[in-house]
Amino acid sequence: MLKIIDLFSGVGGLSLGFIQNGNKVKKAVEYDKTIANSYILNHPGVDVIIDDIANIDNAGIFKEGDADVIVGGPPCQGFSMAGARIRNGFMDDPRNYLFKHYFNIVKSVKPKVFIMENVKGIQTMQNGEIFAEILRIFSDAELLGGEPYQLFFKVVKATDFGIPQKRERMIIIGTTVPNINYMDIWEDTIIQIRREIPTFFDSVTVRDAISNLCEPTDSGVVTSTRSMTDYQMYLESRNSTLTNHSKTNHSTVAVERMKKVKSGENFTVLNERINSVHSGSYGRLSWDEPAPTITTRFDTPSGGRFIHPIENRTLTPREAARIQSFPDDFVFYGNKTSINKQIGNAVPPKISYFLSKLVENILKKGNI
């Protein structure tokens, strides 16, 4: 059983896959109190620290040996604004303090493996200089007290993990295990999971994910119905009820617009000007395809392609959670804005589950 620290944990999408695989998340760090409360209620055995990561880093809370694995995705707002003098100023630029403290905690704890999750575009920000600097820092023996990390990075597609969503994210993995062939271990991990869960990597559509959900209710609590697909069975709860299945009350104007949009279409079929920067605005999902990336605005018609395939409303939180691969017994707490943020910003737990198996296999190669 591996000991995990989850930094920038959010509601715990990254944590969940490791927990499902029998590992122990010792501590999680989340700045937002409401989101942290949701994490606590879903993961009662985890010590959740609700604070700014800068305070945690500066207080020296984490010590060497506290975890075998550190996971987390430091937000990259500062990366995209970084100046041209990357090499001299990257770590000291206050806009990149979130990344700096992630690095410092990895340096202090010295985990055998770390996983950093971030936006796909981080690889090309500032002509690739920022990404190159991140890789340089984590492989610099002098900065890391003589224990650099062997690094691997890959843009992962959620659809490749049997998730009904066209989400793409950058995964950076570092390990102190020497002479690791990451791609061989990656392929071996796929084979291993296929043996254990034969349908894990099967292609999944929106229909496969949400078609058995009944009519939403004002409370969001509905009776569980029989799973119709392998994906629904993978996520199904032992409880007799589901939560978070409530719909947004749209304006009459918005509903009339949605009525005019057919499956796969968007605002371009409306004979009016829509004030939205999103190209998928007023887009209706197709039953027989994966959804686009679930964002924090999945309840807003103008926010993207989030209209239900056949109903004139946007996705409910439970439907969005299904598309993100959260299990049905995972409950999201807080107001609507917070719940949308918890779901939209999460790492899909199926990806996390794969990563947990991958980490185990990396450590087995090193006999750790």
Which residues are tagged catalytic?
76
Residue 322 neighbours by CB under 8 Å, 6+ apart: 209, 210, 213, 232, 235, 328
Q: Which residues contact 40 (CB under 8 A, 6 or more apart)?
A: 46, 48
CB 168 within 8 A of CB 156: yes
Q: How many angstroms from the chain centroid is the CA of residue 26?
A: 19
The answer to whether 334 touches 37, Cβ cutoff 8 Å, is yes
Extended strands (E) in the chain: 3-7, 24-29, 47-49, 69-72, 113-119, 150-157, 168-175, 222-223, 241-242
Task: Give which of 324, 283, 319 is closest to 300, Cα–Cα.
Answer: 283
Residue 275, token pair as written in the block: 């004030």
Contact at 8 Å (CB) between 349 and 356?
no
- Contact by Cβ (8 Å): 32, 11: no
What is the C-alpha to C-alpha distance for residues 361 and 213, in angstroms, rounded to an integer? 37
**Exposure b/e, 137-158, CB count within 10 A at least 16 = b:** bbeeeeebeeebbbbbbeebbb
Q: Report residue 226 CA to chain centroid gap.
A: 27
Task: Report the half-sphere exposure of 66 (CA within 13 A, side-chain side).
Answer: 19
φ and ψ of 353, to 5 deg? -60, -45
